[in-house]
Amino acid sequence: MSMRQADVLEYYLKNIPEVREASVDERTGNAVISFRSNEVEKKAVLDRALFEYDETSEEVVALVPENTGRELNREYQEKLVIKVLLHNLSKLVLPINVRKLKTYVKSIPFLIRATKAILGGKLKVETLDGIAIAASVLRGDYSTASSIMFLLETGEILEEWTRKKSIGDLARAMSLNIDKVWLKSGDSEIRVSVHQVDVGDYVIVRTSDIIPLDGKVFSGEITVNQSTMTGEAEPVTKTESGYVYAGTVVEEGQAIVEVTRKSGTGKYDQIVHMIEESERLKSDTEEKAYRLADSLVPYSFLGFGLTAAFTRNLTKALSFLMVDYSCAMKLSMPLAVLSAIKEARNYGIAIKGGKFMEIVSEADTIIFDKTGTLTYATPKLMDVVTFGGEDANEMLRIAACLEEHYPHSVANAIVNGALERDLRHDELHTEVEYIVAHGVSSHLGNKKAVIGSYHFVMEDEGAVIPENEAYKLKEIKEEYSRVFLAIDGKLAAVLCIFDPVRTEAKETIKTLHKLGFTNICMMTGDNKKTAKNVANALGIDEFQAEVLPEDKALFVKKMRDLGHKVIMVGDGVNDSPALSEADVGIAIESGASIAKEIADITISSENLDSLVVLRRISRALMDRIKGNYRFIVGFNSTLIALGLTGVLTPSSSALLHNGSTILTGVKSTTGLLNSDTKR
């Protein structure tokens, strides 16, 4: 089988509901399939699946990720096999003089790297390697020099393979999300999967949207935050014919974008780039370990010089050069972080760098937004209270038409409420404008329509309640959130939303207290009475009610100024300033696109337990990094001591050092939670 054929069959088998896991070997043509249950009629399932299988079908081919990692694994497997075979065959076949010449030639790149490091005024690991090889050659110990170079080259192949594989695995896990887009179809907009959009189609993007595909602005004007793509700190204004990139965020405005690249094109590479960039966000613990390991290199040279001077035994002196500390550090530390990020992803947690995991492990304060975070992301429309003789269904239809353009948990409740009542809400209005943390403004014919909070509709927009109908507001149940709709300056309807607290929220907050959070807070735009009831029910230490976005950010800043390490958890556009202000911002996956872009971490909207898992994984990662450091320093110091006493030869020290480096790297890729679930 070709690698492509094997990939298509493998992912087709993986997507059969009864199959838990499947792998296909392209060299043997064998497929190994693991089923979810022993009760499954395996033969019947496979007969049906293989009967329906068509490797040329677009539907089947679409199941395969942009990059599966198969070619990468094949490449490094072959490199490793060739390296081992050539090294051993040369020992068996080549005459001694030819092997000596081969050793001289192979040593040249190592000596060049060592010389460059010395000329650059730095004593690095490359310098240690070069001097160790040179000393062995000068002593006439060609076998040791050859073994050292073989181990170094094999180690480099394994390190590079392990690192690329870890990044690839994580990139595939992060690129499985399927996004929806607004597609321009004639005079209307339709919500479709991003995979249904072709080159030349037109998509509509608005404030807080992530631009789904590469393209150019056909009409409209937007400011775009494209720091993830270009590194520009300031938002960039895009007007007609301006090019926009997939994955960047609309900070303000609205535009129709003509698509120039289909979904999937280059997305994997973009995510790999993001992960590689995130590796630069190393935790302080990692950085300290690196600095300390590099600082030990001069002492290796000192030990080499002193031992050679006092013992006149070059073999013992070489024990200092055969072993270094930073090699294992620089393999195991990034792998530990990448593995932790990947493990977190398995629990629906996306993390943008190891730095944020360290802060999560140490934070003492966590602040929650209420709506869509402590409450369910799918609140329900309970009632439509109308004013001025308006029809409830018509008001709901208008509300849904306005709210569907800016997805938020409350907006979704209104849209879903209209769907449940089988109310179609084709575009009735002109261009909509989103006012952050307040609501939406548009026009129905010549009449201005606004929908949003009481503060926005009744105070900022000056809408009035029809005469003798104020009593209707007092009759609305206290537990309902209220969305106000005004048309032509008059209150037309209040949409009543019931947003129950998540069933797991109380237990999650209790567990977070046990895991070391001393200050758990809640912020909400709701009234104080509702906020107090929720805070008391959940065991929250402190709450802020009736707050605006700037108030949330100021409260976070206040906590940080008091010396707290602060995590902010939110889901809306109005949470974005607070997410930016916090030491770590955590967004809910079902929330606004701009919140997810600004946040350092995104968690699944299904369950708040993700926060508990995140804290445990972060703590376990920091323990692993510290444990790796202690092991690397201890084990390699022991090798040096054994070399000095003559117990180990230089080649044995090199073998054990390189072997322990690879084993530490492999150990760093194992799961963290098994040993941490009871903490």
Mean pLDDT of 560-566: 94
Looking at per-residue pLDDT, the higher value among 96 and 261 belongs to 96
Confidence band, pLDDT 50/70/90 cuts, at residue 679: very low
Looking at per-residue pLDDT, the higher value among 154 and 267 belongs to 154
What is the largest distance, in Å, between two alpha-carbon atoms of the chain? Answer: 108
CA contacts within 13 A on the Cβ side of 152:
22
The reported pLDDT for the residue numbered 65 is: 76
Mean pLDDT of 590-608: 76
Q: What three-state secondary structure class fits 299? A: helix
Nearest CA to 676 out of 331, 340, 365 is that of 340
Report the run of H or E that residue 630 belongs to, with start and end.
helix 609-644
The 10s digit of each residue's pLDDT in 50-63 is 899 998 887 788 77
Report the run of H or E that residue 533 belongs to, with start and end.
helix 528-538
Rounded CA separation 164/171 (Å): 10
- CA dihedral 492→495→496→498, nearest 10 degrees, is -170
* Three-state SS annotation for 366-417: EEEEHHHHHECCCCEEEEEEECCCCCHHHHHHHHHHHHCCCCCHHHHHHHHH
Matching residue, tokens 């479709």: 192
Tell if the pTM clears 0.75, that is, is over it: no
Rounded CA separation 232/324 (Å): 39
Contact 228, 180 (CB under 8 A): no
The 10s digit of each residue's pLDDT in 286-302 is 666 667 766 777 877 78
The 10s digit of each residue's pLDDT in 410-431 is 788 898 899 898 887 565 544 6
Q: Is the pLDDT score of 676 beyond 70?
A: no
Residue type, 306: L
**Which pairing describes strands 365-369 and 519-523: parallel, antiparallel, or unpaired?**
parallel
Report the run of H or E that residue 205 belongs to, with start and end.
strand 202-206
The 10s digit of each residue's pLDDT in 144-202 is 788 878 877 877 787 778 677 767 776 666 554 556 788 888 777 788 877 778 888 99
Confidence band, pLDDT 50/70/90 cuts, at residue 364: very high
Contact 556, 568 (CB under 8 A): yes
Q: Is the pLDDT score of 473 beyond 80?
A: yes
The reported pLDDT for the residue numbered 478 is: 78
Rounded CA separation 513/5 (Å): 51
Rounded CA separation 651/282 (Å): 34
Q: Enter the tokens of residue 577.
A: 């300033």
Mean pLDDT of the chain: 82
Report the run of H or E that residue 66 belongs to, with start and end.
none
Mean pLDDT of 243-248: 80
Handedness of CA 216, 222, 223, 228 (dihedral sign): negative
Q: What sections of 233-380 are H helices per DSSP?
A: 267-278, 284-295, 297-311, 314-318, 326-346, 354-362
Contact 249, 238 (CB under 8 A): no
Rounded CA separation 414/483 (Å): 9
The reported pLDDT for the residue numbered 657 is: 81
Q: Is the pLDDT score of 474 beyond 90?
A: no
Mean pLDDT of 517-543: 87
Rounded CA separation 197/185 (Å): 11
Rounded CA separation 120/217 (Å): 49
Q: Rounded to 5 degrees, what angle do the CA atoms 376, 381, 387 make? A: 140
Q: What are phi and psi of 36, to 5 degrees?
A: -70, -25
Edge-to-edge strands of the sheet including 439-444?
Answer: 380-386, 490-498, 480-487, 447-452, 439-444, 433-435
Mean pLDDT of 24-37: 90
Long-range CB contact pairs, 635-638, < 8 A, 24+:
635/660, 636/323, 636/324, 636/325, 636/328, 636/660
Contact 164, 331 (CB under 8 A): no
Identity of the highest mean pLDDT range in 182-196, 277-291, 577-591: 577-591
Nearest CA to 99 out of 107, 109, 80 is that of 107
Count CB atoms within 10 A of the CB of residue 288. Answer: 14
Rounded CA separation 67/3 (Å): 12
Rounded CA separation 664/622 (Å): 15
Share of the chain above pLDDT 70, in %: 87
CA contacts within 13 A on the Cβ side of 663:
9
Q: What sections of 438-477 are H helices per DSSP?
A: 454, 471-474
The reported pLDDT for the residue numbered 431 is: 60
Matching residue, tokens 């008091």: 562
Identity of the highest mean pLDDT range in 191-200, 386-395, 634-643, 645-654: 386-395
Q: Enter the tokens of residue 276.
A: 């590689």
Buried b (16+ CB within 10 A) or exposed e, 6-16: bbbbbbbbbeb
Looking at per-residue pLDDT, the higher value among 592 and 99 belongs to 99
Looking at per-residue pLDDT, the higher value among 380 and 168 belongs to 380
